[in-house]
Copies of this chain bind each other. A is one copy, B any other.
Amino acid sequence: MERNQQIRLVRRPVGEPTVEDFRLVEEAVPTPGDGEVLLRTQWLSLDPYMRGRMSEARSYVSPAALDSVMVGGTVGKVVASNDPRFAVGDLALGYGGWQQFSVESAASLQKLDPAMARPSYALGILGMPGMTAYCALNDIGAPKAGETLVVSAAAGAVGQVAGQLGKIAGCRVIGVAGGEEKCRYVVEELGFDACIDRKVEALDDAFARHAPDGIDIYFDNTAGAILEAVMKHLRLGARIPLVGLIEQYNAVTAPKGPNLAPLLVARAKIEGFLVSDHAAHTRDFLKTVGGLLQSGKLHYREDIVEGLEAAPAAFIGLLRGANLGKLLVHTA
């Protein structure tokens, strides 16, 4: 009788995972309950986010228990169904994990069109990675024709779609990938304008050469050194969708300085602000804040020093936090 091959997490990796962190086991093929379906896995998607599952640290995915089956998106064929929505032989997109057979609730499955040319695409360009590329590029990147878009992990599942959609939107698109073969693929087959080989090129110089007027959008699949180099080449009003952290998934220690992983976990944003961009709001500001001040609803304190000659010491103190309230020099 057929058995269910599974790959389980048996040890939490420190740094890069090794094959010893996994174990191949066999158990009985499970039986679907009411409203459930038994599927035989045809395609299993492997994605960088799975590294997060293997660790205990807080992430946007919860950690997997030790000795549990590794999770993952799958396309499977129905071999038994206890739900009227699925019949034997149907193809379905689910979350069966790293195993030959899985039982899933019918409600959590998505039936695939049998006419679909390549069912595996439901795990890629027409699934989570493609949707990631599409939504992050449009919703956060907001590409406009003529802008310069940089995509890291450009030959990957998400990157290849993001870059091509950028080209279709009229952007000049520069990929960053590891190795000559990937770079050639990205330029010759996907039609990116250029691709930087992060294994051999100095990133800062390469961005200066390929994006001499700066970068409008950086579709970031990696964070780390590529993000750091991009930061020196941002154009006014640049947008960086932070989509992945491939460079630090295996990291043992937190990066120095602000670790941007929490931005991804919280889907949060940091945005630079300069008041001179907001002159159109002056009237509204004066009306609102002036009104609140006049009615006594806003308090405000000034810290006044007398005489121009006192300005240098007062300014040095300001940078040390010595003043309380708005620092002014009275010179009249």
Q: Is the CB of A326 within 8 A of B123?
A: yes
Q: Give the oligomeric copy count.
A: 2
**Residues from chain B with Cβ under 8 Å of A77 in the complex:** 332
Q: Is the CB of B268 within 8 A of A131?
A: no
Tell whether A270 is near chain B: CB-to-CB under 8 Å.
yes
Cβ of A7 under 8 Å from chain B: yes
Q: Which residues of B contact A269 (CB under 8 A)?
A: 140, 238-240, 269-272
| A234–B261 CA distance with the chains assembled, in angstroms | 11
A298 touches B164 (CB 8 A): yes
Q: CA–CA, A135 to B308, complex, Å? A: 31
Question: Which residues of chain B come closer than 8 Å to A60, judged between CB atoms?
Answer: 274
Task: Report the bound CA distance from A178 to B139 in whole Å.
Answer: 39
- Chain B residues contacting A259 (CB-CB under 8 Å) are 228, 231, 257
Whether the pair B264, A274 counts as a contact (CB closer than 8 A) is yes
Q: Which residues of B contact A153 (CB under 8 A)?
A: 321
In the complex, the answer to whether B311 meets A46 with C-beta atoms within 8 Å is: yes
A209 within 8 A of B: no
- Min Cβ gap A254→B in Å is 9
Of A28-36, A80-88, A241-249, the one contacting chain B is A241-249
Q: Check if A200 is an interface residue, CB within 8 A of chain B.
A: no
A-B contacts, 22 of them at CB < 8 A, read: A5-B309, A16-B319, A40-B332, A42-B332, A43-B330, A45-B328, A46-B315, A48-B318, A100-B308, A120-B328, A124-B300, A130-B289, A165-B298, A179-B321, A231-B259, A231-B262, A235-B268, A240-B271, A242-B272, A257-B258, A264-B273, A267-B277
User: A: which residues have CB within 8 A of B?
Assistant: 5, 7, 16-19, 21-22, 24, 40-48, 50-51, 60, 70, 77, 98-100, 120-121, 123-126, 128-132, 134-136, 139-140, 153, 155-157, 160-161, 164-165, 168, 177-179, 181-182, 185, 189-191, 220, 223, 227-228, 231-232, 234-243, 246, 249-250, 255-260, 262-275, 277-278, 281-282, 285-286, 288-290, 292-293, 297-302, 304, 308-309, 311-316, 318-321, 323-332
Assuming A46-B328, A70-B311, A236-B266, what are 9 further A-B pairs, CB within 8 angstroms?
A41-B331, A44-B329, A46-B314, A130-B285, A131-B282, A134-B288, A157-B326, A160-B299, A270-B271
